[in-house]
A and B are shown apart, each in its own frame.
Chain A
Amino acid sequence: MLTEAATALILADPAAPNARLRRPMIDSAANPRSAASAPGGSDKMGALLAAVAARRDRAAFAELFAFFAPRIKAYMMRSGAAADLAEDLAQEAMIQVWRRAESFDPSRAAASTWIYTIARNKRIDRLRRERQPLLTEEEYLGAMGEPERGDMAAERRETESSIARSLDALPEDQAIVVRLAFYEDKSHADIAAELSLPLGTVKSRIRLALNRLRGIIEDRVR
């Protein structure tokens, strides 16, 4: 079932300025499938990570595991890993979450973003046998100069549930290219081949989708 806002989004002219579209999406009631109402609600996950960092809290880790491990496994499978390899990689990623919990900085990113980067780097390392040149937190901070204010980060955390919601609300032709780009290790050219679309069309769909998602993010961050 589509929310009113989602319907408005789908019916909207894709070329229309984002400003007209942003508000309704953010203020709309949460889609029941979205992360906002799922146990992945970001603040809770961040608090669990903090508990792991502060006192090696196994119960907190078990909760993180219950939410993220099956999702990391799904992410690995979408990237082409067979089920048992994906299972191993999900466990390895979660072990890294345990070991590196201290380096999670809730003022920089939401828990699911931090865990996503761990899973992504694990995928590159194991499925592609390359490494991802790292932008660690310190490196980001070095580039950023002043550490940002905590309230900005809190707003960014909120955006993640908005993102999950708006992904559900994206027109299917845009949602599919974003999912392929993020999940399946596909270059824009691969996506074009797979969907039998011209490369330019794939690029413009990704740009449209990102503009919408980014509109949401910027709205919240600023």
Chain B
Amino acid sequence: MIRHRPPEELLLGYAAGTLPEPLALVIAAHAALCPESAEEILRLESVGGGLLAGIDPAALESGALERTLAALEHGDRPAPAALSPTPETRALLPPPVWPYVKGNLLSVQWRRRGFHIETAPLVADGAHRTAFLLRVTGGHPVPHHTHKGAELTLVLAGAYSDAGVSYSPGDIQVADPTIDHRPVAKPGEDCICIVALEAPLRFTGPIGRFANPFVKL
């Protein structure tokens, strides 16, 4: 059961199309796992539909319809080949993420970030906002860190706890820049998450500070 859902501002941002792509990816992946959030997005999109129907129209240039009809004559572009993800991709990743790994989880480039931490990039925009997969060995922490911007974490497998709160598959944690935290993966299973960052992390612990120059998340 999903216990931690994103704040409405983020669902609205997805529906309105104003979220940067890395954040939108995490929200879409969450919504694919959470019927309640998916339904909420659809409701907010129907607000968008109502707004579009009610907007004051802008006059088109003359001949716009004829030009568009002529463009239809050029034949339907062949539909892009349907993405058929590999079984291990399907097992771990929700559908919105499939295109970001080209349908193949094995194609992602895992990089070691610490003794028990690996990451694999999914998407980055030009403003240091990124989304990546994070794998933490069961029972181990992500060192103390803080952020300049928001950090969105969606659990895909395993679980972790942060300041006494546990997060399980489908749950989203939103950490704002005021939080200095040290999430710990639950013992047993590796914890795999999708994380989106609005700005690079800053590690604050003694080891973390040393690692900063090497960590480009």
Contacts and interface: CB of A to CB of B under 8 A. Distances in A.
Interface of A: 33-35, 38, 40, 42, 58, 61-62, 65-66, 68-75, 77-78, 83, 86-87, 90-91, 94-95, 98-99, 108-110, 112-117, 119-121, 123-124, 130-136, 138-140, 142-145, 156, 159-164, 167-168, 178-179, 181-183, 185-188, 203, 206-207, 210, 213-214, 217-218, 221
Given A66-B65, A95-B72, A144-B39, A120 B48 contact: yes
B64 A35 contact: no
B38 A144 contact: yes
A113 B42 CA distance: 9
Given A95-B71, A123-B17, A143-B38, A135 B31 contact: yes
B18 A185 contact: yes
Contacts of A135: 28, 31-32, 38, 41, 96
B178 interface: no
B172 to A, nearest CB: 14
Nearest to B16: A182
Contact of B60 (A70, A121, A132, A217): A70
Given A113-B46, A133-B29, A143-B34, A62 B69 contact: yes
A61 B65 CA distance: 10
| 3 A-B pairs with the lowest CB-CB distances in the bound complex, closest first | A113-B49, A163-B50, A70-B57
B43 interface: yes
A143 B76 contact: no
B180 interface: no
Contacts of A38: 53
Interface in B47-91: 47-61, 64-65, 67-69, 71-72, 76-77
Nearest to A159: B46
Given A65-B68, A98-B72, A164 B53 contact: yes
Contacts of B71: 91, 95
A56 B158 CA distance: 48
Contacts of B69: 58, 61-62
A121 B45 CA distance: 12
A200 B73 CA distance: 51
Contacts of B20: 130
Given A35-B53, A117-B48, A136 B95 contact: yes
B162 interface: no
B176 interface: no
Given A98-B72, A117-B45, 20 more contacts: A62-B69, A66-B65, A73-B58, A110-B46, A120-B16, A124-B21, A133-B25, A133-B100, A139-B32, A144-B38, A160-B50, A160-B53, A164-B54, A167-B54, A168-B54, A186-B18, A203-B9, A210-B12, A214-B43, A221-B43
Nearest to B56: A74
